Amino acid sequence: MKNTVLLMLLFVSLFSSCKDKDNSTETYSLVFHPRKCTYSAAVTKLRTTNIYLKTTYFEYLDVENNASIKSTDYVISVYTSNRGGENDLDSPVTSLEKEIKLDYNKYVTNSANSSSANKTKLYLSMIPMEYRTNGIVKLSISSIDNPLFGKVAGTSLNDYFEIVKYNPDFIASSESKSLIYGFSDTNKPATIDEWLSLSPLAQPTIYFRLNTAPDNLPLSVRFKIDIETTDGIVLSDTTKVITLVN
């Protein structure tokens, strides 16, 4: 009984301390995971479209090897990390973490104020926030089995892919270690060249989608992703074999 009363008092205390004028409450803490980019993986994804309350949402699903995917739904997810385990973190960039926290707080506040769905609710959460501590100077996507778009296998196909998602949804500079685009910025770079021109820190996860349908479909393909970091680390990985169809 005593424990139950204590828990109730704790809940009331949290609710009272977090409550704002709109009766919406949200208590959370960002848990930062700084890692140096020393590893990358290229994962094939299928993009599906969902509509809820007249708003369009995209979901990115894993696919099996040798699957058939419409070229318009084909996405490559590139993941970067260090080679350690989940708890193997690198030295933090405290100034960047402060910026991310301020930007995220602003984003959450604006989102809550614009949505009545958040009223009179209590949120208690620990939010993991990945970021990388070294930058990217090169990222190239190429086909390794068949020519595409009139280009021989091994040639960069960056112009035929667009960036459709950053996760987490911010871009930071590798030179100043500060934010360039935050969570609320909806018009982030969509081309690989524009993103690279920012001298960005490596992205924990970034999603690339074909922006043009290749000729001569159906076609069995694999794509290779080559990355070079600001400290000279060269990484590469290859996607699963899939068949692109119209």
The pLDDT tens digits of the residues spanning 49-107 come to 999 888 888 999 999 999 999 999 999 999 999 998 888 999 999 999 999 999 999 99
Domains of the chain: which residue ranges? 27-112+124-245
Contact 77, 166 (CB under 8 A): no
Write down the pLDDT at residue 18. 41
Asked if residue 12 has pLDDT above 80, the reply is no
Average pLDDT over residues 163-186: 97
Contact 144, 37 (CB under 8 A): no
Write down the pLDDT at residue 114. 66
The pLDDT tens digits of the residues spanning 115-168 come to 554 444 445 689 999 999 999 999 999 999 889 999 999 999 999 999 999 999
- C-alpha distances (whole Å) from 101 to each of 4, 37, 170, 210 are 34, 22, 12, 33
Instruction: Give the pair of three-digit tokens for residue 246.
Output: 């119209």
Write down the pLDDT at residue 2. 40
Write down the pLDDT at residue 218. 95
Asked if residue 229 has pLDDT above 90, the reply is yes
In the chain, what is the greatest distance between 2 CA atoms, to the nearest angstrom?
Answer: 74
Name the residue among 127, 136, 93, 130 with its Cα closest to residue 108.
127
Instruction: Report the distance separating Cα 183 and Cα 73, nearest Å.
Output: 25
The pLDDT tens digits of the residues spanning 196-207 come to 999 999 999 999
Q: What is the pTM of this model?
A: 0.85
pLDDT band of residue 211 (cuts 50, 70, 90) is very high
Instruction: Give the pair of three-digit tokens for residue 15.
Output: 């609710």
